[in-house]
Amino acid sequence: MIEIENVKKSFGSAENVQQILKGINLTVNNGENIVILGASGSGKSTLLNVTSGLERVDEGKVIYDGRDITALSDRELTAFRRATVGFVFQQYYLLPDMTVDKNVRMGADLAGNSEYRKIIEEVGLADKLNKYPRQLSGGEQQRAAVARALAKLPQVLFMDEPTGALDEATGRQLLDYVLKLQKERGFTLITVTHNENIAKTADTVVRLNSGAIVDISRNISPKGAYEIGW
């Protein structure tokens, strides 16, 4: 379980401080699929970054199964990310000089996962194993990024606007794959998006506005990737 307690985060210099997160409180259960919804500048990406340990909070706590990660040293935080979380970013961030196989292996080696090629097959990139990111389409690059995150066998997968740069068909395909896998493997999925439709696929929807949670709602029967509008 992830407990976010009164998390605050600001950016900018002393004269021009911008409070991005204004005391966030949220609980995410293990295996839950949660979507954080908000407009651009609402603080959703910052919330994802502090929850995943990519950034430090100014105030508050982020507790994973009783362990407060805001109190960890840099070294401990690195070890935490290594063992616990996976990331999918809107810009993919694949390593440009490495093939799909090696990019995915980046995640797999951390978990000692020798079966990582199965994940590459499952995301439909078996024939692109030796291709470099520049030789792939946007959708293929994002699938490679998903495969890399999943090859790490994370307990929590964070996705920041994962379909933001994709066309509808590719976006649905990717979402369908991740949702299916989340159900199969039972990892916690936290997705940040501005797309209202994607929120319909989640167990819980958290709406964020100007750095504060304005609404938390539960979907009784979450929809599949092909059942929502786009």
Q: Yes or no: say if 109 and 117 are a contact pair by the CB < 8 Å rule.
A: no
Could you tell me the smallest distance in angstroms from the CB atom of residue 216 to another protein? 26
Our finding on whether 112 is near another protein (CB under 8 A) is: no
What is the C-alpha separation between 24 and 47, in angstroms, rounded?
Answer: 8
Could you tell me the smallest distance in angstroms from the CB atom of residue 43 to another protein? 14
Sign for the pseudo-dihedral over CA of 114, 115, 121, 126: positive
What is the C-alpha separation between 119 and 125, in angstroms, rounded?
Answer: 9
Binding string, residues 31-70; x marks residues near another protein by CB under 8 A: ------------------x----xx---------------
Identified binder of another protein from the candidate list 65, 97, 167, 168, rule CB under 8 A: 97
Classify 156 as helix, strand or coil.
strand
Question: H or E element: which one contains 87?
Answer: strand 85-88
Residues 153-212 that bind another protein (CB under 8 A): none
Tokens of 16: 């021009």
Identified binder of another protein from the candidate list 130, 183, 196, 224, rule CB under 8 A: 130
Binding site for another protein (CB under 8 A): 49, 54-55, 74-75, 78-83, 85-87, 89, 91, 93, 95-98, 102, 105-110, 130, 132, 134-135, 152
